[in-house]
Amino acid sequence: MERTGIINQLLRRLRFVVPMLLALGVLVLLRAPGEEVMFRLAGIRITQEALTTAGWTTIRLLAIATASMLFTLLVPLSHVVDGMRRVRIPHPVVSVTWMTERFLAILTSDLRRTMDGVRARSAALALPRRVLLGTRIAASFLLRAVARSEYLADAMTARGFDGRIPILPGARWMRRDSFIASACLVVFIVAIVL
């Protein structure tokens, strides 16, 4: 049951990434050089080399996006922070990662509340009005995130923040962690080699 949930979450996240990757693939298709013209469409030459380049570029980016999303779904950021500390990554990098985890949790709850407000207010509106409302709320969410980060920086400065954040000891490395790390490494290497 857990695997199905992870796969569903991965597919939900990928549905936002795939259109961007396809748009990037079309741009590569239109801009890549080539000699062997397959066909012309409204004065635009589509070549065999451009089609191959666009296809492989899109597949590589999709593999990289899938691997990174799968990693974030399977490995909690607290474990990543603990692993960074254990392999002696510089403390400021670990601290920034830890702060990012905490800050993203706060921003995620803000985003959920904002999206609930959009759904409640835009159910009876026409599509253009919903899009306009969504962009306004997205802009206010961005401003709220910036303001929250400024408040956080001021609060940390007022409390004499010295760059050291206490990090609780994390979980032990398990066999499944080795499997996940190996699988991600293989996907990453395949994405780069192809």
Distance in angstroms (rounded) separating the CA atoms of residues 81 and 79: 5
Helices (H), 75-163: 77-86, 91-122, 127-158
pTM value > 0.85: no
| Domain segments of the chain as ranges | 2-74, 78-158
Instruction: Tally the C-alpha atoms within 13 A of residue 109's C-alpha that lie toward its C-beta.
Output: 6
Is the Cβ–Cβ distance between 166 and 39 less than 8 Å? no
**Nearest-angstrom CA–CA distance, 107 and 77:** 15
Query: Any idea what the Cα angle at residue 112 is, between residues 128 and 142, rounded to 5°?
Result: 70
pLDDT values of the chain reduced to their tens digit, one per residue, 194 residues:
466 788 888 888 788 788 888 888 888 888 888 788 777 777 778 888 888 888 999 999 999 988 888 888 888 877 888 888 888 888 777 777 777 777 777 777 877 787 777 777 666 667 677 677 767 777 777 788 788 878 877 887 787 776 666 655 666 777 888 888 888 888 888 888 77
β-bridge partners, 46: 39
10 Å CB burial of residue 94 (0-12, 13-18, 19+) is: buried
